[in-house]
């Protein structure tokens, strides 16, 4: 009985065969490390989203709420908005219910902003002066974040359209101000659509008290919307935590490499 030599054994994956040389295993390990690092960095960044919540008019803002919040408080994401005070919402003057209030969240890492929009104001005619005050609070549901800066914009038509935005650091400061232009943290003033700069806020603030005011003086002047943008600090990766995760990933990849070498060693020709 004649003997024949057994063919060399190789590991086949699909239609491809792994070569006997296993020097590329380390290269693949390094590539996997870089890939894991990139995925960790990507995962640490907040997701891009754009949820929004329509509150309604000023009267609804003051007398209703979202979820289980107390009356006058509305929540979107990690922000609570609470009604403070306003021009009257009854009778033939003051807020007549045309307006629509909407809160929006933009967690794009480049922006990470929240907006308080007072819209549908075009039906208010001159002469008119109205204000709305509210508190915005970071409730901590997305981590220990703080406010970074605030800005204001508006859409108007006609002449002598004035818009103010006053930002206060406490309820006492808010209550002490009796008219527009008295914010102790920031004051914005725009006439006929003039641009206003973004204002940086002091560090470590998680609550702001805000009063928005608009005044129409000349016939035909109107404002259709007032947009308040509050930007907060962007979450950063903790270097120590990231180093720990990277060390675990690297160690796991090293273990897989050693096992792969032993497994491939068994697959070499015998």
pLDDT of residue 97: 94
How does residue 254 score in pLDDT terms, banded at 50, 70 and 90?
Answer: low
pLDDT of residue 142: 83
pLDDT of residue 9: 42
pLDDT of residue 18: 41
User: What is the tens place of the pLDDT at every residue in 40-71?
Assistant: 444 444 444 478 999 999 999 999 999 999 99
CA dihedral 240, 245, 246, 250 (to 10 degrees): 140
How does residue 161 score in pLDDT terms, banded at 50, 70 and 90?
Answer: very high
User: Quick one: which of 54, 55, 75 has its CA closest to 64?
Assistant: 55
User: What is the tens place of the pLDDT at every residue in 205-246?
Assistant: 999 999 999 999 888 888 999 999 999 986 555 455 445 545
Mean pLDDT of the chain: 79
Cα distances from 111 to residues 114, 137, 147, 195, 196, in angstroms, run 9, 18, 12, 19, 18
Check residues 150 and 245 and name the one with the higher pLDDT: 150
Cα distances from 158 to residues 75, 118, 188, in angstroms, run 35, 19, 20
> Which residue's entry shows tokens 């859409």?
155
Check residues 103 and 141 and name the one with the higher pLDDT: 103
What's the alpha-carbon Rg for the chain, to the nearest Å?
Answer: 30
How does residue 72 score in pLDDT terms, banded at 50, 70 and 90?
Answer: very high
User: Quick one: which of 116, 47, 41, 52 has its CA closest to 84?
Assistant: 116
Q: Which two tokens stand for residue 15?
A: 């239609």
Q: Percentage of the chain with pLDDT > 70?
A: 67
Alpha-carbon gap, residue 75 to 53, rounded angstroms: 8
Predicted confidence (pLDDT) at residue 85 exceeds the cutoff of 90: yes
The whole-number average pLDDT for the span 241-263 is: 57
Q: Three-state DSSP class for 145?
A: coil
Is residue 118 within 8 A of residue 101, CB to CB? The reply is yes
The number of angstroms, rounded, from the C-alpha of 209 to the middle of its chain's C-alpha atoms is 19
Q: Percentage of the chain with pLDDT > 90?
A: 52
| Residue-range domain boundaries for the chain | 31-46+237-270, 52-232
Q: Which two tokens stand for residue 134?
A: 């509210």
pLDDT of residue 43: 42
DSSP letter (8 states) at residue 18: -
User: What is the tens place of the pLDDT at every residue in 1-20?
Assistant: 544 444 444 434 344 344 44
pLDDT of residue 19: 44
252 phi/psi in degrees, rounded to 5: -65, -40
Predicted confidence (pLDDT) at residue 94 exceeds the cutoff of 60: yes
- Specify the pTM: 0.70
């Amino acid at each position: 009985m004649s003997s024949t030599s057994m063919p060399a054994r190789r590991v086949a994956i699909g239609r491809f065969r792994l070569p006997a040389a296993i020097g590329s295993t380390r290269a693949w390990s390094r590539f996997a490390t870089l890939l894991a690092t990139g995925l960790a960095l990507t995962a640490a960044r907040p997701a891009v989203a754009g949820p929004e919540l329509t509150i309604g008019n000023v009267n609804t803002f003051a007398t209703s709420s979202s979820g289980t919040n107390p009356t006058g408080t509305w929540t979107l994401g990690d922000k609570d908005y609470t009604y403070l005070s306003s021009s009257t919402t009854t009778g033939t003057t003051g807020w007549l219910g045309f307006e629509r209030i909407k809160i929006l969240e933009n967690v794009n890492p480049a922006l990470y902003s929240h907006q308080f929009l007072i819209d549908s104001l075009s039906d208010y005619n001159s002469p008119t002066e109205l204000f709305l005050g509210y508190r915005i609070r970071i409730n901590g549901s997305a981590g220990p974040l703080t406010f970074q800066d605030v800005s204001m914009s508006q859409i108007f038509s006609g002449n002598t359209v004035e818009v103010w935005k006053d930002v206060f650091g406490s309820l006492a400061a808010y209550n002490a101000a009796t008219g527009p232009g008295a914010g102790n943290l920031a004051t914005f003033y725009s006439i006929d659509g003039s641009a206003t700069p973004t204002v940086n806020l002091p560090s470590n603030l998680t609550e702001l008290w805000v009063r928005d005011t608009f005044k129409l003086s000349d016939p035909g002047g109107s404002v259709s919307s007032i947009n308040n943008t509050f930007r907060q600090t962007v979450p950063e990766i903790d270097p120590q935590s990231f180093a720990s995760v990277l060390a675990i990933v690297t160690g796991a990849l090293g273990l897989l490499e050693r096992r792969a070498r032993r497994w491939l060693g068994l697959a070499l020709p015998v």
